[in-house]
Amino acid sequence: MTAPTRDDPSYDLDDVGTNPSKNPSFNDLIASRLSRRHLFGLGVGTAGTALLQACGGGGGSGGGFLPIVPPPPAPAPPPPAPPAPLKLNFNPVAKSLADVVTVPAGYTASVLYRLGDPIAAGVAAYKNDGTDDPATYDRRAGDHHDGMTFFGMNGSNKWDAANATRGLLVMNHEAITPSFLHPNGQTVVGGVRTVADEVKREFYLHGVSVIEVNKSGNSWSYKQDSSFNRRVHTLTEMTFSGPAAKTDYLKTKFSTDGSKTRGTLNNCANGTTPWGTYLTCEENWAGYFRRTAGMANDDKNRTAKELKSFSRYGVASTGRELWATVTPDTADNQYGRWNTEVLGASAIADYRNGHNTYGWVVEIDPFNPSSTPKKRTALGRFGHEGACLGPVVVGKPLVWYMGDDSRNEYIYKFVSTKNWDAADVGGGMAAGDKYMDDGRLYVARFDADGTGKWLELKLGVNGITSSNTNYAFADAADVVINARLAADSAGATKMDRPEWTAVNPKNGDVYVTLTNTNASSRPIASTDGANPRFYNDKKGTSDQKGNPNGHIVRFADDNADPAALSFKWDVYLFGARSTAAADVNVSQLSADNDFSSPDGMWFSHAAPGLLWLQTDDGAYTDVTNCMLLAALPGKLGDGGAKVITNTDGTTTLTQNTFVGKAPGTDGLRRFLVGPKDCELTGIAESGDGRALFVNIQHPGENTPVADLGDPAKFISHWPQGGNARPRSATLVITKDDGGLIGL
Ligand code: FEO
Ligand code: CA
Ligand code: CA
Ligand code: CA
């Protein structure tokens, strides 16, 4: 299989699916009796059990990430007065196709950190014309800003979650828009990159930024010469830990014992730890590795298992940026490392295993700029979107919820073996070694009756054995490296592209955005309870069939125990045009809150219960650019059972499901609309919640190559305006009266 390339305008390099397994579609279970009993009486948490989540944007108020110790049983203090319920308090922003950022009256959105901005003393301002010195890009903002966390920092340069005026802002740079990085886009001659300096820029523009940010008056800026500023990119050395570390699967010419690799890329959503480090997640990494149809001769050098793994992970293209094609190679194989071919006498003589060194959750300690990032292999290898930390309770295991964003992929969780000890706050990478290298990896099965099961991915269980006829698992490393194949064996439920995960700090409910899917990946006969819609969302005269608007599934682990092996679920919210039919616009969205393709999602710490939703959409873009919405969700089971009638124009089928209560404008409002051809992704808040950091990714990215010669034809010029090239950038949003954002 040769995957399409950027030259094919219909192909989205971040929208892939490679799951051929026959895992359950609930058609088999369609006759199952639906029961709502499980949705009643879902008291979450036991008396005195404190819940706190800390994924994604970080920050936090009044103690932020710090764990809360269950109080002693007696004497019982008088019950505190219940906090006033949150109320959205802004006028919804209208949908817009303008090349601007729009926020409600009473708010100010300022640009903080743009593609190319310098983060070290002596680095010149970014000219933004493709001529900046490639050697400086390891000290400039990367491209495609994505998942992001604010780590408050005190005067002793230590983590202080509640800090409202100073912090380290850590963010992913997922990918690049090559059109705007070089004098005239990428120079490609006969399928070969011929300008090594262009590739050098691209190596540096992927990865992660750490920048120090400070508040002065009511405005924020980053400190160009801070000693904490750092770029982690595709050349940064990192080590492996967990079951796959130092195994044959990870041996390369660069690391003959399989202990390390270089770089991270396609860093999409993010996550945090209760000890104060950052997690960056490698999503669509497979496309960067070169394995073309022309390498058919290479197949004879590969085992059947290796070929199966290539196929299941979609390593099957020319390499999306053609990095492997640059000649001559460097002595340390900066280009050749992207070529998966068997070229040498053994794995330590080439990069036949290079692809195995990507697809991981990577831990970075932002407070230690010289620390080496670690790829935590116990959390499995797949198309990691994010890793949201669940409730943190002293004496209990830690849990991270994770989506695998490709069509028909799965939802996972990792549960630590060690129980949380608050003494590990500030423990850096050593704490990561304690909690993230040893634990249990599970994948989710959503059953038709509104319950679900966590299926363990471990050698010897759930068909994950050496006698598995699809893929014979050899050892623990094989299981985590080929986690998708293990999940296939376990019988996980195929989902409509799992993006971000978020945990409600008020009750522990877990939310997962399922951004969208198409008719070929989920035909009308393949809907199921947790992925229940099939419809045609007409865009102009074009059909968009399947589930092009996406939805958000919600679940609660039984007994509020993150280590539980079962859960209950419903669908919190469905994307749709407000004008769509009732069985499409199931959540009864209005002009004030309709949206499509949810992706970024994060619960505020300063205002527990306030949920932020971001869109990465191509379906509703005839009407509006992508957006940020504020939500006040209820809880699992606040709606009820529902039968949805699906139609593709000729066939009509019904689908049983469970849906959340329709939000109305009290529960969901559009807060921000971005510039043209962007996605909204990445969100964080200062320690007091009075500054909201939001990323605008890839404005104008679909500008046709033929139009690059005429700047007036660029789809977007944001944020500089005029005829400037567009730039991904971080916004900081403040309320003009200094109050909490959105409330
Ligand atoms: Fe990188 Fe799934 O968005
Ligand atoms: Ca993206
Ligand atoms: Ca995303
Ligand atoms: Ca997306």
Whether the predicted pLDDT of 71 surpasses 60? no
Q: C-alpha 164: how far from its chain's center?
A: 26
Torsion sign, CA atoms 455, 456, 462, 463 = positive
- Nearest-atom index, ligand 1, CA of 175: 1
How many CA atoms, within 13 angstroms, populate the side-chain half-sphere of residue 607?
Answer: 24
- Nearest-atom index, ligand 1, CA of 268: 1
pLDDT of residue 379: 99
pLDDT tens column, 121-134 = 999 999 999 999 99
Atom 1 (ligand 1) nearest CA = 268
Is the distance from the beta carbon of residue 306 to the nearest atom of ligand 1 less than 6 Å? no
DSSP-assigned beta bridge partners for residue 657: 642
pLDDT tens column, 79-122 = 666 678 999 999 999 999 999 999 999 999 999 999 999 999 99
Separation between Cα atoms, residue 701 and residue 142, nearest integer Å: 15
CB count, 10 Å around CB of 297?
A: 9
Whether the predicted pLDDT of 472 surpasses 60? yes
How many CA atoms, within 13 angstroms, populate the side-chain half-sphere of residue 298?
Answer: 18
Q: Which of 688, 697, 667, 695 is nearest to 741 (CA)?
A: 688
pLDDT of residue 33: 31
Query: What is the whole-number distance in angstroms between the Cα of residue 697 and the centre of ligand 2?
Result: 7
- Nearest-atom index, ligand 1, CA of 284: 1
Query: What is the whole-number distance in angstroms between the Cα of residue 599 and the centre of ligand 2?
Result: 9
Residue % of the chain over a pLDDT of 90: 87
Whether the predicted pLDDT of 6 surpasses 80? no
- Whole-structure pTM value: 0.93
Query: What is the whole-number distance in angstroms between the Cα of residue 519 and the centre of ligand 2?
Result: 22
Separation between Cα atoms, residue 165 and residue 181, nearest integer Å: 33
Give the mean model confidence (pLDDT) for residues 452-461: 98
Atom 3 (ligand 1) nearest CA = 268
- Nearest-atom index, ligand 1, CA of 385: 2
Whether the predicted pLDDT of 612 surpasses 50? yes
Residue % of the chain over a pLDDT of 70: 90
Separation between Cα atoms, residue 367 and residue 425, nearest integer Å: 13
pLDDT category at 293 given cuts 50, 70, 90 is: confident
Is the distance from the beta carbon of residue 174 to the nearest atom of ligand 1 less than 6 Å? yes
pLDDT of residue 297: 82
pLDDT of residue 624: 98
Are residues 159 and 151 in contact, defined by beta-carbon separation less than 8 angstroms? yes
How far is CA 22 from each of CA 76, 467, 485, 704, 715, rounded to the nearest angstrom?
Answer: 54, 18, 12, 38, 42
pLDDT of residue 294: 73
The conformation of residue 638, written as its DSSP 8-state character, comes to S
Query: What is the whole-number distance in angstroms between the Cα of residue 384 and the centre of ligand 3?
Result: 10
Separation between Cα atoms, residue 324 and residue 327, nearest integer Å: 8
Are residues 411 and 498 in contact, defined by beta-carbon separation less than 8 angstroms? yes
Separation between Cα atoms, residue 273 and residue 494, nearest integer Å: 28
Separation between Cα atoms, residue 213 and residue 229, nearest integer Å: 10
Please name which ligand lies nearest the alpha carbon of 175. 2
CB count, 10 Å around CB of 478?
A: 24
Please name which ligand lies nearest the alpha carbon of 515. 4
Phi, psi (degrees; rounded to nearest 5) at 685: -135, 155
pLDDT tens column, 371-429 = 999 999 999 999 999 999 999 999 999 999 999 999 999 999 999 999 999 999 999 99
- Nearest-atom index, ligand 1, CA of 266: 1
Is the distance from the beta carbon of residue 324 to the nearest atom of ligand 1 less than 6 Å? no
Is the distance from the beta carbon of residue 14 to the nearest atom of ligand 1 less than 6 Å? yes
pLDDT of residue 15: 76
Query: What is the whole-number distance in angstroms between the Cα of residue 57 and the centre of ligand 3?
Result: 14
One-letter amino acid for residue 237 of the chain: E
Whether the predicted pLDDT of 39 surpasses 80? no
Is the distance from the beta carbon of residue 496 to the nearest atom of ligand 1 less than 6 Å? no
Is the distance from the beta carbon of residue 405 to the nearest atom of ligand 1 less than 6 Å? yes
Rounded (10°) CA dihedral 268, 271, 277, 282: -30
Is the distance from the beta carbon of residue 385 to the nearest atom of ligand 1 less than 6 Å? yes
How far is CA 528 from each of CA 570, 652, 657, rounded to the nearest angstrom?
Answer: 12, 15, 8
Is the distance from the beta carbon of residue 679 to the nearest atom of ligand 1 less than 6 Å? no
Query: What is the whole-number distance in angstroms between the Cα of residue 515 and the centre of ligand 4?
Result: 7
Query: What is the whole-number distance in angstroms between the Cα of residue 599 and the centre of ligand 1?
Result: 7
Give the mean model confidence (pLDDT) for residues 727-732: 98
Query: What is the whole-number distance in angstroms between the Cα of residue 497 and the centre of ligand 4?
Result: 9
Give the tokens for residue 72. 């002693």
pLDDT category at 513 given cuts 50, 70, 90 is: very high
Is the distance from the beta carbon of residue 617 to the nearest atom of ligand 1 less than 6 Å? no
- Nearest-atom index, ligand 1, CA of 681: 3
Are residues 527 and 657 in contact, defined by beta-carbon separation less than 8 angstroms? no
- Nearest-atom index, ligand 1, CA of 14: 1
pLDDT of residue 599: 98
- Higher-confidence position of 42 and 378: 378
Query: Quick one: angle between helices 304-313 and 483-490, nearest 10?
Result: 90
Q: Where are the alpha helices (DSSP H) in 158-238?
A: 196-205
